[in-house]
Amino acid sequence: MDKTKANLPHKKQSRIQIRNRKRIMDAALIVFSENGYRGATLDQIARESGLSKPNILYYFEGKQNIHLALLSQLMAAWLAPLDAMNPEGEPLDELLDYMQRKLAMSREFPRESRLFANEILQGAPRITPHLQARLKPLFEEKTRVIQIWIDQGKLAKVDPRHLIFSIWATTQHYADFETQINILLPEGAPVGADAATLLHQIYTRLLKV
């Protein structure tokens, strides 16, 4: 690997460099979320960003490096709601708040959600180290917290791991299957408010002792 390029993000950059990197990342997010990793090309990213292909290669070594940068950035944002779950808080409120934060993220960042889903569907060839080093320890920490709440009689008896999986599935559905939802719902239907209300009711009934 070219050490100069690898270290570039950590050096002080000019405003033009910062702006161009953002343009590349924003364009790549659109291209990868629409075409998947295999279907995306540097030429597509160049067209979407309005920069030349050589200009893109000044900032990134290739398609894989851009994809990894996006996934790393996404992982940090994706873990924040789970990390915010407070062991000292009211258990039901903490889980309902987590569900709402995840739903809000899916609505606000559908491309990011689809980017992550596409990577997982391919077997996570590029993000596996991040899943093992960053997601797994946090996941295990929070499942232990939920189990303590259950053992204390503050929540109904459920499997903490599958509870978190179900929250991921129900909230990210609204991003990953956005096209299907838009076809099935009446035009102009308030997706966000109705989804939040329904999921709040479901998880309240599921978890309340």
For residues 119 and 55, membership in a common domain is answered with: no
CATH number at residue 172: 1.10.357.10
Structural domain total, the chain: 2
For residues 110 and 54, membership in a common domain is answered with: no
Distances (CA, A) of 195 to 77, 164, 185, 190, 192: 22, 17, 12, 8, 5
The predicted-structure confidence for 95-139, as pLDDT tens digits, reads as follows 999 999 999 988 888 888 888 888 888 898 888 988 999 999 999
User: Domain boundary at 18, 35, 61, which?
Assistant: 61
For residues 51 and 149, membership in a common domain is answered with: no
Domain interval for residue 198: 70-207
Q: What is the pLDDT of residue 181?
A: 87
Confidence band of 44 (pLDDT split at 50, 70, 90): very high
Distances (CA, A) of 70 to 13, 58, 111, 117, 194: 19, 17, 11, 13, 31
For residues 194 and 110, membership in a common domain is answered with: yes
Average pLDDT, the chain: 89
* Sequence-ordered list of residues with C-beta below 8 angstroms from that of 144, at least 6 positions apart, any chain: 160
40, two tokens:
């995306």
Cα(78)–Cα(120) distance, rounded to whole angstroms? 14
75, two tokens:
């992982």
pTM of this structure: 0.81
